[in-house]
Structures are given as structure tokens and as C-alpha cells.
Amino acid sequence: MKYPHLLSPLDLGHVELPNRVLMGSMHVGLEDGVGPLKKLGAYFARRAAGGVGLMVTGGIAPNRTGWLKPFSSKMSNRYEVWQHKYVTDAVHDEGGRIAMQILHAGRYGYHPFSAAPSNIKSPITPFKPRALSARGVRSTIKAFAESARLAKQAGYDGVEIMGSEGYLINQFICTHTNRRTDQWGGSYENRIRFPVETVRAVREAVGPEFIVIYRLSMLDLIEEGSTWDEVVELGQRVEEAGASIINTGIGWHEARVPTIATMVPNGGFTWVTRRLKGQVGIPLVTSNRINMPDTAEAALAGGDADMVSMARPFLADPDWVLKAAQEREDEINTCIACNQACLDHIFKNQRATCLVNPFACHETEWDVHPVSARRRIAVVGAGVAGLSCATTAAGRGHDVTLFEAADDIGGQFNMARRIPGKGDFDHTIRYYRKQLELTGVTLKVGKRVTIDDLAGGQFDEVILSTGVVPRKLKLPGIDHPMVLSYSQVLRDGAKVGARVAIIGAGGIGFDTAEFLAHDHHSDDPADFMREWGIDTSYAGRGGLAEPEMKKPDREITLCQRKEGKLGARLGKTTGWIHRAALKKFEVTMLSQCQYEKIDDDGLHLTVAGEKRVLAVDNVVICAGQVSVNDMLEPLRARGVSTHIIGGAELAAELDAKRAIAAGARIGAEI
């Protein structure tokens, strides 16, 4: 067996879990609303069928004050018990197990009824919470216990008490948010009274034969966070109070350190859980940026923890455990930690899905059935849109030929994977390469297909996923040898001098700046910890240290025409990281630029009306793309049934999420 630790059962006394995999809590937007939670049930049932040992729902509030946002999910009455029965029944029908997470948002609540230990507004919400009275604290503990009792009644196998990520329980623990002077504030003993009493009350409410997970903030990553000794003490106290498992929480939401995004090294925080091993007697779960079985197995085999938690990897592939057990890991559709379709959606009040798996959270809405009449389909362009389309259509039984002019598949992903910290994008190419093989797609690379190749009756349908080319600007001097396109830099390895101006500050302008700034980049996790100020010796509070960034050898200026801060349209949950990284690299950011010309002296422009010349060795153009769609009309004119998807259809919003979803949709419907 290749993953003996990962796939060994875990005995919790009253119940044995089949393996060491916990599907961690993640809000997906199917939890809220009225009526039975059938879509949420189908979502979890699909993952239970894929063999996960234990799953945890997104955060469910114990009362209205604890809501994440107005009318978000809650478990405090019989109606809600009835709603959730649809989830637990669906999971149990597939032989799975599921715990409900009880989350009180405290000052992170995005509504005017929020309450917290003290009335201190959080930096990430506009509402100032009221301070809970001593009676309010007691009734909140009761609400947690009642919520757990109702969860049991709804058929859940356990609950997880959310004690990390800066939510209410965490707010009690740290002086950063707890300025109380009563028995719930002041000394550490007083500040942890709330979590300890909550665990005790929950255990009393549910009895001994029920899983109670406590999610412990083991590394706060904020000033005034807990010390390591305090973390250990809390772990021991929640164990005494009746927790059956301790899960790892890393970083408050307001922490300015990336904890789950792509640039976080794989398994980069398992060392934190390891520190607690031996200090408590109950099983420990480790988490954050574990996305493949080898990383999970290494963490368990190395003694870092007893279980691993993954959330987003199960959006990307519900059969993750099954594939690991059958040693088909090259078939895993790996989460690339982009956040684009999951967390970014949730923060925009949209239902989550997954960039690499558009079926996620839409289990009841897609119908991908085997075809009754096999058709001959040509897909032109093997970027992610074409790959998604070809493999979905061939998987249903169509006869698919995929043409690619370049020597290999992957399109724009071949550039993205070269950006420091985006190495996981390789997994997507590996996944599709395997899918092409499994679904029997005929792949023709290094072939620029012609209209005659497609229009001579060889194919019943043609799908153009011919992608984009970088936009060429109309600017005097644009043909000067110092001017490069981003694809020449990222894909072709063009030589770039020590002083660079980048025109265009969208996702690719930022990526290009990071690429050029990372002369000293290494994949060593220790460098990531140093650069972001994470103290692995845990000498002070919150595990924070002074960040130490190796300055780039290049002088980089990033320019945009718009007013306002650069990168404002980057991903909601990752944009701040890219902006912070470039700031650390001392990249100069200029807005309100009007470009005038490029010559031997450099880039001539006006910045907010003031004339300037940037004396640079190279100007890199990252000003968006234009579609490659020149085959569409000729094919249609010759009567060929032709469809167009991805960047070829719409370059303005070139986006892998849209491209993969469009490919999957046409592949499922054709």
C-alpha cells in the first residue's frame, strides 16, 4: 500500500473512521436559504461516495448574533433540524460521516447585530460589534450547546466548534479583541474560560457517543496573538472539557500573512500541529495547503498529526480518497489554491464552485450522460478550454480530435506555471494529459490546423478554443528592440535588463512583476516563512517575526492608466497578497499614466499630468489580449457547425475559470 498512514482507520472509541482524511469546513453558499438543503446534501453525498473519512459542513451559527451575514445558516430550531436532515440522510446513504461546524462570527459578522467580547470593530467588516454582557456570554455558551444538541437530532455524527480564524471564540482568547475586566477577560485563565466552558457545555448536551472537534487557533499570526505555551494549555483544557479531536487553525482572517493561497508551500504549516503532538492525548488534525496524497502521507508518516484536513481539494476532486487508495493519483484533479471560484465567490456572495472542476456545488444541475450517437468532433487549441471540452466530450463517448499548434498542451497555463509560487498549476496540465489518455482523445500537437483540415466533412462539429494573443499597443516606438510582450518574457524566456517598466497592471502585469522580482526565489518553505514574517521558533506572540525579503536585483515600475490603487481588480482573497508582495519588493507603482513613446531613453509618459521619462532597459507590455477567432467565419461560411469558447470567444475577460467551465459545458451538451 502506497499510503498506509493516510488510509489506516482511526478509532475514536464509539466510532471508527475508515481513513485519516477530514474534509475541512468550507462555506460554499449552499447552506443558506429556506427549504430543504438538497443541493448541499448532494454536494456532500458526492464527496462521501468518494471515500472521505469524515466531513465538516461550512460554519453554521448557533444564534442570530453569530450569523456570518444577514440570514445566513443557523441551527437553533426544529425547522433548521428538518432542513439539515436532507444533508445527513444523503451522506449516510453513501456510507459517509459528517459533522456540523458551529461558528459564531463575533466581530466578523457582516451585519448590525454582531456581538463580541469587546466593542472593537474588525478591520475587515464595517460593523462595530456590541460587547456581550456577562449574561450574553452565558447565553452564547448555551446557544452553542443547544445547536450541538439539534445537530445530533438532525443526524450529524458530530460537531466542530470553530475556535480559530479570528471568530468569536478566538476573539475571547486574545487581548487583541478581549478588553473585558470580568471573569471572561484579563488573565489567560479568564480569556480561555469561554472556549473551555463551550466545549464542556457541548459535550454535556450531546453525550459521550458523539464526535466533538475543537478547531484550535495554533498560530494566530496577529500581534497580541497567543504564545505557544498558551496554545498548549488551551489544547489540554479543551481535551479535559470533552473534545474528541483537535483540528488546526492557522491565522486570523485579518492576518497579513498568506496561509492558504498558491504561494504557501505544500504542507507548509504541518510543523505547527507537530508541536502539539504528545502534549494532548486526543487525535490531532493538521491542515493548510495539503492537496496531494504524498504530502498528506508524509505529514502523517513524519508524526506531524493523526489526520489531515483538506477542504478545497474536495471541490476540485470528490474522488480524491478513492484515487489515492487505488494509486491513481495521476488522475486527481488537484486544487491549485487559486481561490478564484471558491473563496472569491463566497466573498462576493456567490455560490462557490471550482476553477478546475466547474461541476462542484452544482451536483444536481449538470447532466453529463453517455452519448447515444457518437459524433466526430474537432477541438482546435489545447489550452484549458479546449482540454476541458475535449475530455468531457470524449468521456461521454464522442470521437474527439484535439489540435494544438504548439508542441505541447496547456496554452496560457504554461505561462502561469512559471510564476514563482504557481508551480501547482503543473498539476492541471498533468491531470488533463492523463484524461486525454483515459478518454481516448486523438491529440495532434505541433499542427496548425487549416480550414480545409476541418471543413472537408471529416468532422460533425468543430469547437474553436484558439485562445488569445497579447494586445499590441499603438504607440510610437512600440517596435523598439527594448519592448517585449509578457509572453516573450514568461513563455519564451526573453532576456530582461535591470531596469524594467511594465505597461498594464492587471493579473498578468502583477504576475510579470513578481516573476521579474523573484531573482532570488526558491521553493524552500523556510524562505516563505522568512519573507512573510512567520516565526517557526514561535518565540513571541502569534508566531510573528519581522519579514525579511531579499531585494530584487531589478528596478521595476508597474504602470496603469486608471486612477486609484494598482491591482484593485485582482482576486478578492488574493489581491492583497500580490499587492503586499510587490510592495515588499519595492516595485514602483504608477497610476494615471498616459504613455507617449518609447525610444533609446526609455518610456516617455505623463503621470497624473506630469511629464516623465522612465530610463529603462526594457518595457514589457501586459495590456490584455485579443481573441484569435479568424477561423470562425470561414468555417461557418462553409457550413461547418462551429462553436467558439474561452479567450477565443471573449478576450476581455480572459479567465481560466470561465474557459474551463465553457469547455465542460459544451463537452457535456454536444
Q: Which amino acid is at 490?
A: L
Q: Residue 561 binds which one of ligand SF4, ligand NAP, none, with CB within 5 to 8 A depending on kind?
A: ligand NAP
Contact of 560 with 504, CB cutoff 8 Å = yes
What span, in angstroms and rounded, lies between the C-alpha atoms of 430 and 570?
A: 26
User: For residue 438, with 0-12 CB atoms within 10 Å meaning exposed, 13-18 middle and 19 or more buried, which class applies?
Assistant: middle
Give the interface size with ligand SF4 as a residue count (CB under 6 A): 14
Pick the piece of the chain touching ligand SF4 (CB under 6 A) from 353-361, 381-389, 535-543, 640-648.
Answer: 353-361
Instruction: Quickly list DSSP for 260-326.
Output: SSTTSPTTTTHHHHHHHBTTBSS-EEE-SS--SHHHHHHHHHTTS-SEEEESHHHHH-TTHHHHHHT
Q: Residue 298 binds which one of ligand SF4, ligand NAP, none, with CB within 5 to 8 A depending on kind?
A: none
Q: Which string of x and - marks every residue 8-47 that binds ligand NAP (by CB under 6 A)? A: ----------------------------------------
What span, in angstroms and rounded, lies between the C-alpha atoms of 221 and 254?
A: 9
Instruction: Quickly list DSSP for 177-201.
Output: T----STTSSSHHHHTHHHHHHHHH
What span, in angstroms and rounded, lies between the C-alpha atoms of 571 and 343?
A: 9
Q: Residue 316 binds which one of ligand SF4, ligand NAP, none, with CB within 5 to 8 A depending on kind?
A: ligand SF4
Return the closest-CA partner of residue 378 out of 329, 320, 451, 310: 451
Q: Residue 354 binds which one of ligand SF4, ligand NAP, none, with CB within 5 to 8 A depending on kind?
A: ligand SF4
509 is an interface residue for ligand NAP by CB under 6 A: yes
355 is an interface residue for ligand SF4 by CB under 6 A: yes
199 is an interface residue for ligand NAP by CB under 6 A: no
> Cα 544 to the chain's mean position, in Å?
23
Looking at the Cβ atoms of 237 and 289, the one nearer to ligand SF4 is 289
User: 599-636 burial, b for 16+ CB within 10 Å, e for fewer?
Assistant: eeebbbbeeeeeebebebebbbbbbbbebbbebbeebe
Q: Cα-Cα-Cα-Cα dihedral of 467, 468, 469, 471, to 10°?
A: 180
265 is an interface residue for ligand NAP by CB under 6 A: no
Q: In angstroms, what is the minimal distance from the CB of 262 to ligand SF4?
A: 8
H helix intervals, 444-574:
451-455, 486-490, 507-517, 525-532
Pick the piece of the chain touching ligand NAP (CB under 6 A) from 294-302, 377-385, 492-500, 501-509.
Answer: 501-509
566 is an interface residue for ligand SF4 by CB under 6 A: no
Catalytic residue among 167, 214, 431, 538: 167
Q: Residue 624 binds which one of ligand SF4, ligand NAP, none, with CB within 5 to 8 A depending on kind?
A: ligand NAP
421 is an interface residue for ligand NAP by CB under 6 A: no
Q: Give the one residue of 80, 157, 304, 511 binding ligand NAP; rule: CB under 6 A.
A: 511
Q: Give the one residue of 170, 175, 439, 560 binding ligand NAP; rule: CB under 6 A.
A: 560
486 a catalytic residue? no
Q: Residue 315 binds which one of ligand SF4, ligand NAP, none, with CB within 5 to 8 A depending on kind?
A: ligand SF4
491 is an interface residue for ligand NAP by CB under 6 A: no
User: For residue 644, with 0-12 CB atoms within 10 Å meaning exposed, 13-18 middle and 19 or more buried, which class applies?
Assistant: buried
> Among residue numbers 291 through 330, which ones bind ligand SF4 (CB under 6 A)?
312, 315-316
Q: In angstroms, what is the minimal distance from the CB of 316 to ligand SF4?
A: 5
Pick the piece of the chain touching ligand SF4 (CB under 6 A) from 15-23, 322-330, 340-348, 491-499.
Answer: 340-348
Binding site for ligand SF4 (CB under 6 A): 312, 315-316, 335-342, 354-356
Binding site for ligand NAP (CB under 6 A): 473, 503-511, 560-562, 570-571, 578, 622-625, 653-655
